[in-house]
Structure 1
């Protein structure tokens, strides 16, 4: 069972998200602890909000006064409402919120049933509930509850979810639920640093994500839409707004995943790069052979081409480790244009060049701790390539063929980099 905890100052937003699900028939209220119940024995959004708001002192110093948590059992668990209610009670008691007012919602909008809990982080006197090491303590509590109620351990969730999450199938209906299940699994299990890498992962599940920009009352907004595809990547269904799926799958959530991934992937890059290098040194004659040989190494590859057949993007995916890396993120010698050149003329294999790929791989492994002024021109160019990738990750880019734009940026930044290096030497 996995717990996701958040703190917010928007009580209306936390309650509104859950009560909206109740209104749509996608959720139900399991328990309201320490809250007013009307004569009809129902809880309404307005009454719960007023009840909780009244318990927050006006001079409260804590800004994020709202506790919002979801408890997610394994998809294979089929727990009764009584068991879920008991788990919620014991979880809140152990975490230090047993005397706080809180309300428990059971969500059934996706195949995996789970619960949401909304409470307050301050007591009636404005004193903050102890949240030191909250996530660590939460993990210990969920582990204890798993053992007590003989639940499937959360350590088995990610790998099982990756292998058992089905592709989106528009003929089966409940498209939004299917999309939600895939996206939430990917965001939980995988690390990626660009929209292209995110799409490479989603392609396995017949899904693509696109950025949308809108303007409302003079203010610009960034958002995402998810579109089901056929086996060849063609769009076959109406786009679904991320906001219609629910929390945690929108623009901000994806951007946060990308930012957090940047540090997490660094230790894994050398191993992925070595697997690709060793595979390419077997001189695969076709893309099919490349895929087969990479699969033997535990890697999956997604190759993107333009209408003329030119390779403009290549992404390597390790499903077990949960990581997706564009070729250029492995280093200059692994960019899409290198693979395009190789498959255009397989008789010339640049990966067999020990002078370039032998020492270069070792130098790249050390580049993260070396200042650019200490590198030669070739090494500097590789860091510039990585800089370009990072710049691209700062904002979403079109998934179309932007090779000429990228090449122009590379030439310009390389020139600037060389100038800066010469200046440092003087």
Structure 2
């Protein structure tokens, strides 16, 4: 079972997302802790919102006051409402939210049933509920609950399996809303540097994006449209202009996202390149065999062909890391024309040529360096998080030094020194 926790300022948004599912009969309410129930013994969006808002004190320092969490059992689990309710209660109690008002929704809009919990991050006195190392503690709690209730371990659940995204289905209606929800989830999780890479990600959701260019009063404009497709990639619905979907999906927003992604994905290039090389050195004889062997490496591949069957595009996707790489982005030796030549004559495998692709030992060394860089980036993020926590709690006072990295490291060293002193005393 995997927990996904988020913090937000928007109580109405968190509740609205879940109550909209209830209205569509795609969700139900399992439990409401410390909230008012009307005479019909039901809960409405307006009543729950008013009740929870009234419980937020007038004075508090926490900016993101709303706790929103989803608990995702393995897709093969079939748990009763009673068991899900019990899991939600124990999870919230152990995480420190047992005395907080909260409401639990069971979602059944996709094959994998799961629950969402909305609560408050401050108590009645305005004090923040302890969220130090929250995700780490959450993982420990879900591991304990798995053992207690005999659930399939979360180690067997991939991030891909818990994504709350389903294929666009035009027969269900509300196409624009489906497209909006799909894009919101995809853009939140994935990094990409071109529209081709974004399209490769979207193929699994039966959606494609196209760039359009127009001219008005002598001035040129660029825009994007999103089009639902069938499983073979054929367009099956009217294009929806980005401006009709909402913020964050238009031409400028996507261009900005692509620019930011270029820096973020750099440490992963060597890792993905090595996994592709390792796969190709097994000499897969067909495209389907390539797909299967890449899946064993944790990669998904999207191959694009023209009418003559020539491969003109290939994209490798790591769904867990949330990244997509066109072959050429990994290097010239991984471009589409190289794969086209290989599958035209699989007996001539260029990936076995160490003069061109290097030895696996060198690749492994590159991987080690890349993973070390990723780890250092994660450590740096953790330092920032801890520093922000202390500033919010008032336990860290600015020293006039505007180099926050140096300040964070000094703080870490002080902590280590205190630990060593305590050890010596004992």
TM-score by length of 1: 0.63
Identify if the C-alpha distance between structure 1 residues 240 and 123 changes in structure 2 by more than 3 Å, giving closer, same or farther.
Answer: farther
Contact 2:227 2:235 in 1 (8 A): no
The range that moved more, 152-161 or 21-30, is: 152-161
After TM superposition, give the deviation of residue 35 of structure 1 in Å.
Answer: 0.9
Tell me the CA shift for residue 265 of structure 1.
2.9
Residues 150-179 of structure 1: CA distance to partner in whole angstroms, max 9, x if unpaired? 1111211229959xx9x9697997998999
Contact persistence 2:3–2:142 (CA under 8 A): yes
**Distance apart, 1:142 and its partner CA:** 0.9
- RMSD of the alignment, in Å? 5.2
Counterpart check, 1:22 vs 2:22: yes
Deviation at 1:64, TM superposition (A): 0.3
2:274 corresponds to 1:275: no
Structure 1 residue 260: deviation in Å?
Answer: 10
Counterpart contact for 2:228–2:235, Cα < 8 Å = yes
Tell me the equivalent position of 2:70. Answer: 70
Residue 378 of structure 1 corresponds to which residue in structure 2?
none
Q: 1:349 to 1:69 in 2, by over 3 A?
A: closer
**Deviation of 1:291 (Å):** 2.4
Please say if residues 95 and 138 of structure 2, whose CA atoms lie closer than 8 Å, have aligned partners that are also in contact.
yes
Q: Is the 8 A contact 1:212 1:225 kept in 2?
A: no
Q: Cα offset for 1:188? A: 11
Distance 2:262 2:47 in 1: 39
Q: Structure 1 pair 260/331, CA: closer, same or farther in 2 (3 Å)?
A: closer
Alpha-carbon distance in 1 for matches of 2:23, 2:105: 12
Over residues 198-249 of structure 1, what are the superposed CA-to-partner deviations in whole Å (9 max), with x where a residue is unaligned?
544554x573342689xxxxxx9x9985724243x2234577999x99xxx9
Number of equivalences: 350
Q: Distance in 2 between matches of 1:226 and 1:144?
A: 44
Give distance in 2, aligned partners of 1:157 and 1:336. Answer: 32
Please give the secondary structure, in 1, of the residue aligned with 2:115.
Answer: strand
Would you say the 8 A contact 2:122–2:129 is kept in 1? yes
1:18-417 alignment runs, 5 A limit? 18-158=18-158, 161=161, 195-197=195-197, 199-200=199-200, 203=203, 205=204, 207-210=206-209, 225=226, 227-231=228-232, 233-236=233-236, 262=265, 265-266=268-269, 268-275=271-278, 278=281, 289=285, 291=287, 294=290, 297-298=293-294, 301-306=301-306, 311-316=311-316, 325-339=325-339, 355-358=355-358, 362=362
* 3-state SS of 1:314 partner: strand
* Separation in structure 2 between the aligned mates of residue 367 and residue 150 of structure 1, nearest angstrom: 37
Alpha carbons 1:211, 1:225 under 8 Å: kept: yes
Kindly indicate whether the alpha-carbon contact (under 8 Å) linking 1:168 and 1:179 is maintained by their aligned counterparts in 2. no
Unpaired runs of 5+ residues, structure 1, are 214-219, 371-426
* Inter-partner Cα distance in structure 2 for 1:188 and 1:144: 29
- The unaligned stretches of length 5 or more in structure 2 are 213-220, 371-426
Cα pair distance change 1:80/1:223, threshold 3 Å:
farther
- Name the CA distance, whole Å, in 1 between partners of 2:207 and 2:168: 13
Task: Tell me if the contact between 1:193 and 1:261 (Cα under 8 Å) persists in the aligned partners.
Answer: no
Give distance in 2, aligned partners of 1:147 and 1:181: 34
